[in-house]
């Protein structure tokens, strides 16, 4: 929990900025039978990023990385919308479920492909997934024929743009996926195995862990998350845009994972940290729109905030700056921290 203090502080600071500069930012009302407000927007638009970042967390925990998630987002959205346009009735729930199933199946297959390249062929993860990152955009355009596919389907609209029990449906999906992931990795041994493979794949194999299988499962899970995120993004605007959907989301996802305190070197991870990291990024985006940062300077503003977050996250930096108040953390403390997070 201590490790989450800095990102939590940063999120609070961002919200404080909004409290001062934006009227009605914290106002949440019921409109048309669902919750409505800026905070709800952060969850709604942040949901795809949280999902992608969740998958990315596990991949990074195996000391890998998945650059192809943005492309998988585009492919899954394009595939689902293409299937829906071929339905006789776009409002048929079974048809939409089928379309979503085909899209997610394709995403998982692509993830297994990534895992195969990494685990069996032994290509470095950054290169193996770079292949799909580049080729995937082409595949998405091939599926959508270079067009933006517009659909008009009420059940599909629900996934990313609808509400259930007054809550945005996307955030319910995220909660379910998060709960399942937390259960499998923290209540069962899977998380430990993943961390073990990330720490040293060869040593893990020698101690009887099927490293290859674990790696393939993790990459497939990451692609599945990206696939669901792709459905949400395309459903939110009822159209699939092969070129722009999920563009650069892999970078935001990696950033969310890093802000959340997961080491890029692998071997340990924090799911709650990642969720927090993704929320910080989305809050930052919403803040930029709300307080009216000029578009020309948006990227610079974002970069500054991210730099500050990362610096505050770094124990070495904190040790230097806050030297008089705190001593640099001795190694024993970080080992203890690792144990607390793992439990």
324 Cβ contact list (under 8 Å, min separation 6): none
CB closer to another protein, 236 vs 270: 236
- Is 312 near another protein (CB under 8 A)? no
The reply to whether 147 sits near another protein by the rule CB under 8 A is yes
CB contact at 8 A, 286 and 278: no
> Which of 237, 311, 312, 329 lies at the binding interface for another protein (CB under 8 A)?
237
267 part of the interface to another protein, by CB under 8 A: no
CB closer to another protein out of 72 and 194: 72
Q: Is residue 161 involved in binding another protein (CB under 8 A)?
A: yes
C-beta closer to another protein: residue 120 or 299: 299
Among 86, 89, 166, 298, interactor with another protein by CB under 8 A:
298
CB of 38: closest distance to another protein in angstroms? 5
Considering only 31, 320, 323, 326, the residue that binds another protein (CB under 8 A) is: 31
Angle at the Cα of 252 from the Cα atoms of 250 and 256, rounded to 5 degrees: 115
Question: Which range touches another protein (CB under 8 A), out of 95-103, 146-154, 189-197, 212-220?
Answer: 146-154
- Name the site residues for another protein (rule: CB under 8 A): 22-25, 27, 31-32, 36-38, 41, 45, 137, 141, 146-148, 150, 161, 233, 236-239, 241-245, 247, 285-286, 288-292, 295-296, 298
């Amino acid at each position: 929990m201590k490790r989450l203090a800095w990102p939590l502080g940063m999120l609070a600071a961002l919200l404080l900025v909004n409290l001062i500069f934006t009227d009605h930012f914290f106002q949440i009302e019921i409109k048309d039978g669902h919750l409505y407000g800026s905070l709800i927007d952060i969850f709604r638009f942040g949901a795809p990023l949280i999902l992608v970042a969740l998958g990315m967390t596990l991949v990074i925990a195996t000391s890998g990385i998945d650059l192809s998630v943005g492309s998988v987002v585009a492919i899954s959205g394009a595939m689902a919308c293409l299937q829906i346009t071929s339905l006789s009735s776009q409002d048929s729930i079974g048809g939409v479920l089928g379309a979503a199933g085909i899209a997610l199946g394709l995403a998982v297959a692509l993830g297994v492909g990534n895992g195969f390249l990494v685990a069996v062929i032994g290509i470095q993860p950054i290169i193996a997934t770079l292949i799909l990152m580049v080729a995937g955009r082409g595949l998405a355009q091939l599926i959508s024929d270079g067009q933006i596919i517009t659909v008009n389907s009420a059940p599909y609209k629900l996934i990313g743009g609808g509400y259930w029990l007054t809550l945005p449906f996307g955030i319910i999906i995220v909660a379910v996926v998060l709960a399942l992931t937390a259960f499998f990795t923290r209540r069962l041994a899977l998380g430990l195995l993943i961390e073990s493979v990330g720490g040293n794949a060869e040593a893990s194999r020698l101690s009887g862990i099927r490293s290859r299988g674990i790696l393939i499962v993790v990459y497939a899970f990451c692609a599945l998350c990206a696939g669901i995120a792709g459905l949400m993004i395309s459903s939110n605007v009822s159209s699939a845009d092969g070129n722009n959907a999920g563009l650069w989301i892999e970078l935001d996802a990696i950033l969310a994972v890093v802000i959340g305190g997961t080491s890029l070197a692998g071997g340990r991870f924090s799911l709650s940290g990642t969720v927090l990291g993704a929320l910080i990024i989305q809050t930052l985006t919403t803040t930029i729109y709300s307080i009216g940062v000029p578009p020309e300077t948006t990227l610079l503003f974002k970069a500054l905030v991210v730099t500050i977050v990362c610096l505050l996250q770094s124990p070495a930096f904190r040790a230097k700056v806050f030297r008089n108040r705190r001593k640099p953390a001795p190694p024993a403390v970080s080992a203890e921290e690792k144990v607390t997070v793992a439990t």
